[in-house]
Structure 1
Amino acid sequence: MNLLILSVLVVMIAATSAEQYTDRYDNINIDEILTHIIDAIQSSCSKCTEMQRKMSRKVVNFIKEQEKTFWEDLKHKYDPGDVYKPVYESFLAADD
């Protein structure tokens, strides 16, 4: 009986102390980032800093490779006619 009570307590404590993501990114201005998505796609991130280009490539290539359905949804939303496909494919393949 004591083992059962102890087990229930351990499970309850574990459930209440679930880990959270770090708050390190809580102050990033997401609205500002969102206003630049279309321009970044259309211009190969020409206004991005070197670090922004590197991180953008990493994120987008991850989505393309690991989240194929989500990638198709993004392409359909932001470039339904594949007008900018050569631009962003070239950008994603680059290593500058």
Structure 2
Amino acid sequence: MKYTAVIFVFFGLVCLSRSATYEDKYDKIDLDALIKNERLLKNYVNCLLDKGPCRQDGLELKNNLSDALQTDCTKCTAAQRDGSRKIIRHLIQNKREWWNELEVKYDPKKIYVTKYAAELKKEGIVL
């Protein structure tokens, strides 16, 4: 009986510690406006690269980025998946030097670039 209670407590703690998705309070950010505002976009890139301060939403992204890459974004909401594709597409096509810096920091062994190259190619994005 004690053993069963310990198991239930353990699984309860595991379930509480794991969120099904990342925080969604920033899902409604207007990414088109962000893309059009080079200064603001650069601030986010600098945050991710440890070259500048982070706003709360940038810090949330920075804290979850490695996990999202490693887990195929399984905890991402639909808006986060779609938004990340939009931003990635924009950076690769229009701000390649920023993309290259992010790639060096977050994918130095080119694991994720290789993994997603075919998917990006289908969308017309060549790495």
Q: TM-score range by the shorter chain?
A: 0.5 to 0.7
1:59 aligns with 2:104: no
| Matched residue type, 2:92 | K
Aligned position for 1:78: 106
Mapping of residues 24-43 of structure 1, within 5 Å: 29-43=57-71
CA RMSD of aligned residues (A): 2.6
Structure with the greater alpha carbon radius of gyration: 1
Q: CA deviation at 1:28?
A: 5.1
Q: What are the superposed Cα offsets for residues 59-95 of structure 1, whole Å, 9 maximum, x if unpaired?
A: 1110011001111111111111112223344565688
Q: Which has the higher contact order (CA 8 A, sep 6+)?
A: 1
**Distance change in 2, residues 1:38/1:94 (3 Å):** farther
Q: Identity rate of aligned residues, in percent?
A: 31
Structure 1 consecutive aligned stretches of length 4 or more whose deviation exceeds 4 Å: 90-95
Contact conserved, 1:41 with 1:87, CA < 8 A, in 2? Answer: no
SS in 2 for 1:36: helix
**Distance change in 2, residues 1:31/1:38 (3 Å):** same
| TM-score with structure 2 setting the length | 0.46
| TM-score with structure 1 setting the length | 0.58
For structure 2, list consecutive stretches of 5 or more residues without a partner in the other structure: 1-39, 41-54
SS in 1 for 2:72: coil
Contact conserved, 1:40 with 1:46, CA < 8 A, in 2? Answer: yes
Q: What are the superposed Cα offsets for residues 23-61 of structure 1, whole Å, 9 maximum, x if unpaired?
A: xxxx85332221001111222211101111001100111
| Matched residue type, 1:87 | K
